[in-house]
Amino acid sequence: MHAAKPSPEALQQRSDYYQRIGGRHLTPLWEVLGALVPPQPRSPASAHLWRYRELRDQVMEAGRLISAEEAERRVLILENPSLRGQSCITQSLYAGLQLILPGEVAPAHRHTQSALRLVLDGEGAYTAVDGERTTMRRGDFIITPAWTWHDHGNLGNQPVVWLDGLDIPIVRFLDAGFAERSEQCSQTALRPEGDALARYGANMLPLDYQPGPAEPTRVFVYPFERTKAALEGISHGAPDAHQGFKLRYVNPATGASPMPTIGSFAQRLPAGFETRPLRGTDGSVHVCLQGGGEVRVGDQTWRFDESDVFVVPSWQALQLRADRDSLFFSFSDRPVQQALGLWREERL
């Protein structure tokens, strides 16, 4: 049953009433209920693709205008075109393109926001996380979990560029942000490079190590070599119609996401393969690490090439076509939604 249409007088009375109660910081639910409790997600975010060729030119220009040290982090934020001024790529996630030039240092700091890096370009840089360095190579997935000390440096002779992904909007929403700068610009190495991967990432664990269920992994680098080998190793039989060959990165000690707020994935589509449309409640950010083809989000399509970045808003269907054998990295807030019982996916 639909209610009868109110008379103009009744509408005027209501509007006067809203005005009066507004002065007392009250507002009627019935005027906004549909928007507050929508039948399905209607993300204010847009789909968008950033071409790496253009991104690289823009960030190299920043390299001529400000040093990494002065900037603290020399990063161009990838802002969702429908969320300008909010420093986010989806409602819950931040992405940025970071540049570090030869000889530069991005000084050590820590914050309650969790960060990931996906290395795109150049050789010779490192990230140090809580006293251990890792050399950054293209395709490597590196994490700096909440409240870990981290600094970046470039000991080589090429500019190094990577994509940052952080949970900045989640921490902002929760008003739970803390940060501090270290007195030491570059952390002293407490352990040799490779220690964490050997200790926690070789299908073995230290005997006295008992991580909690939401604890981030001590493995802070997932080398591209290993990811590629895993994707090749599962590439037999028919690819999944909606995802091709896809794996999620995990904390090897728990099977949970490497960090509690950001889920991360690696995907391979064989040349000529086209996925069926797939949508999920987690808006996601994708990077093409190898190959090229076409991406369709809703009714928009783009060509993608190596190192291009694209964002897919919540509940918009994603379809990919690989013209060449293609590899993708992606991240989203899926573990948050799963922990809260909110995550849904639909195969179309």
**Which residue, 128 or 269, has its beta carbon nearer to ligand GTQ?**
128
CB 53 within 8 A of CB 86: no
CB 301 within 8 A of CB 295: yes
SS3 assignment, position 68 = helix
Tell me how far, at minimum, the Cβ of 171 lies from ligand GTQ, in Å.
11
Tell me how far, at minimum, the Cβ of 111 lies from ligand GTQ, in Å.
6
CA distances from 235 to 247, 255, 269, 327 (A): 11, 22, 9, 12
**Which residue, 76 or 214, has its beta carbon nearer to ligand GTQ?**
76
CA distances from 164 to 116, 182, 258, 283, 291 (A): 6, 21, 15, 16, 21
**Which residue, 163 or 297, has its beta carbon nearer to ligand GTQ?**
163
SS3 assignment, position 93 = coil
Q: Which residue is at the shortest CB distance from ligand GTQ? A: 164
List residues bridging with 166 in a β-sheet.
94, 115
Rama region for 291: left / alpha / beta (φ>0; ψ in -120 to 50; rest): left
CA distances from 106 to 72, 154, 184 (A): 6, 9, 11
**Residue 129 tokens, joined:** 């996380």
CA dist 68 and 70 (Å) reads: 6
Tell me how far, at minimum, the Cβ of 58 lies from ligand GTQ, in Å.
15
Tell me how far, at minimum, the Cβ of 104 lies from ligand GTQ, in Å.
13
**Which residue, 166 or 289, has its beta carbon nearer to ligand GTQ?**
166
CA dist 117 and 127 (Å) reads: 9
**Which residue, 110 or 138, has its beta carbon nearer to ligand GTQ?**
110
**Which residue, 48 or 268, has its beta carbon nearer to ligand GTQ?**
48
**Which residue, 73 or 296, has its beta carbon nearer to ligand GTQ?**
73
CA dist 326 and 122 (Å) reads: 20
Tell me how far, at minimum, the Cβ of 144 lies from ligand GTQ, in Å.
7
DSSP calls for 191-252: S-TTHHHHHHSSS---TT----TTPPPS--EE-HHHHHHHHHHT--SPPBTTTBEEEE---T
Tell me how far, at minimum, the Cβ of 19 lies from ligand GTQ, in Å.
43
**Which residue, 285 or 322, has its beta carbon nearer to ligand GTQ?**
285
Residues that bind ligand GTQ (CB under 6 A): 73, 75, 96, 98, 111, 115, 150, 164, 166
Tell me how far, at minimum, the Cβ of 343 lies from ligand GTQ, in Å.
25
Tell me how far, at minimum, the Cβ of 44 lies from ligand GTQ, in Å.
22
